[in-house]
Amino acid sequence: MISVKRGTWIFLFVLGVLTAITCQFQNTLTYLHVISHLAILTAAHFALAFPPEELLDGLGLTLYDLFSIIYDHRNYSYIDYAAKRVLFFNVFVASYPALISGYFVHGQLFTTAINTRRFPELFDHPWLWLLVFVISVIGLVTYYYKIRDYTQWPAFQYFMDHPETLDGVETVINDPETFRIRLSQRTHVYVTRNFFIYSSNWRFVAVRMIDVRLQVDNTRMPMIMNIQDEEERLRAMFIKVNFNVPYLAPFTMTLRQDYYHQLNEILEIPIFVPPHITVPMTIMEELKEDFVHRIRNNSRHTHRVKRSEKDPCFACGSEENIIKISKSCTGEEQRLLFHDIVLNPTPNCENCTCRPLWCCGCIAQIFITRQKIDNISRYEYHRGSAKCPTCRKTFCIRDVHFVDFDYIAEEEEAST
């Protein structure tokens, strides 16, 4: 793959240089021309640095691809590579003024017709553009040399103060047990009990967990309210990452709901939620809650069992067994199974006579995951049906009952 990418980039470079040096401009451009050229250059420049998700990425045409061709990650430690990437991206974006002034210098240079101006009056200042170009290039080089030594960066200042982090980072990255989140194409977060690592094209920080404070960002909460009804993947939390170290600048990251909940399970100190904010549940949690609410209206099932033979939930083996599947629907209820656009009636319920009991969470999950849950049909999930995990017989939501235990004497024969 890398060789294909390399080929593509070399081709683009050769083509670019060839096109640039073989230009022969004869006519004066209109304002519309110039403005559209500038717009195209600007769009191309920033599309490379901030590629639309999955689009340019698939083609290997993002700035990250170019970076990974120039710098082979096998030759660098994780930290060096992350720093080089941030450096590369910042310098690239800073090259924008040079690109724009370069466009004007180039146009002037390759105009071959005598007494013809390449640019309309407002832009027609050859020496000014040349001056701007030279200053931009000098500025760019100066900027590069200024930030080049990344050991001076605040993130690396931290490594000086806490040298043990340096070894910790490599261990965390290479440990398959590490909890990883891919926030976007090239933005990764690695979290263990001891370390927090964030690496993107624009930022790299690796700190001990005790120096990080994560908090739901209340300043950006309203956006979450707006997208609450979108698909689950669009549900995101803004998490403010604060550091106990003054020279590390706080920043905000966007975390998908499910990652938010998983991350919270790892952290010793959970993500702080300001009091006036309610964290939206995931769709699964929401539906599970709804499921339990609905089955409370069903009749209760009396389960006769010896106290000594009372097992936990058959599925998870840890929660209390308080749910029984037993056919009690009439078959007259409006029930549907959602398959894409076509609505098919569910198969008829059958008599499940299995002994095992379940907990609320497991039976809700078993039922809900059998339904097609998308934006349109997720509120209809309760009309579907599922199969008993042990006997594969069909049951519907009306066949799910809470259990009242009727404990029988130890020597009696149990029956349900």
Q: Which is nearer to Zn ion, 332 or 412 (CB)?
A: 332
Q: Which is nearer to Zn ion, 150 or 402 (CB)?
A: 402
- Judging by beta carbons within 10 Å of its beta carbon (0-12, 13-18, 19+), is residue 267 exposed, middle or buried? middle
Q: Which is nearer to Zn ion, 292 or 391 (CB)?
A: 391
Which of 319, 320, 350, 380 is the binder for Zn ion (CB under 5 A)? 319
Least Cβ distance, residue 358 to Zn ion (angstroms):
6
* Pairs from 38-46 (Cβ < 8 Å, separation ≥ 24): 38/100, 38/103, 41/99, 41/100, 41/103, 42/96, 42/100, 45/96, 45/99, 46/93
Least Cβ distance, residue 398 to Zn ion (angstroms):
5
358-387 positions binding Zn ion, by CB under 5 A: 359, 362
Interatomic CA distance for residues 38 and 99, integer angstroms: 10
Site membership for Zn ion, residue 357 (CB under 5 A): no
Least Cβ distance, residue 243 to Zn ion (angstroms):
40
Q: Which is nearer to Zn ion, 185 or 328 (CB)?
A: 328
Considering only the stretches 81-89, 114-122, 252-260, 356-364, report the one whose residues sit in contact with Zn ion under the rule CB under 5 A.
356-364
366: Cβ contacts below 8 Å, ≥ 6 apart: 315, 358, 386, 389
Least Cβ distance, residue 315 to Zn ion (angstroms):
5
323-352 positions binding Zn ion, by CB under 5 A: 329, 349, 352
Least Cβ distance, residue 226 to Zn ion (angstroms):
35
Q: Which is nearer to Zn ion, 269 or 316 (CB)?
A: 316
Site membership for Zn ion, residue 316 (CB under 5 A): yes
Size of residue set near Zn ion by CB under 5 A? 15
Least Cβ distance, residue 232 to Zn ion (angstroms):
23
Least Cβ distance, residue 294 to Zn ion (angstroms):
13
Least Cβ distance, residue 337 to Zn ion (angstroms):
13
Q: Which is nearer to Zn ion, 22 or 297 (CB)?
A: 297
Considering only the stretches 145-153, 172-180, 200-208, 317-325, report the one whose residues sit in contact with Zn ion under the rule CB under 5 A.
317-325
Which of 315, 323, 364, 403 is the binder for Zn ion (CB under 5 A)? 315
Least Cβ distance, residue 343 to Zn ion (angstroms):
18
Interface map 386-405 toward Zn ion (x if CB under 5 A): --x-xx----x--x------
Site membership for Zn ion, residue 2 (CB under 5 A): no
Q: Which is nearer to Zn ion, 207 or 315 (CB)?
A: 315
Q: Which is nearer to Zn ion, 283 or 360 (CB)?
A: 360
Residues in contact with Zn ion by the rule CB under 5 A = 313, 315-316, 319, 329, 349, 352, 354, 359, 362, 388, 390-391, 396, 399
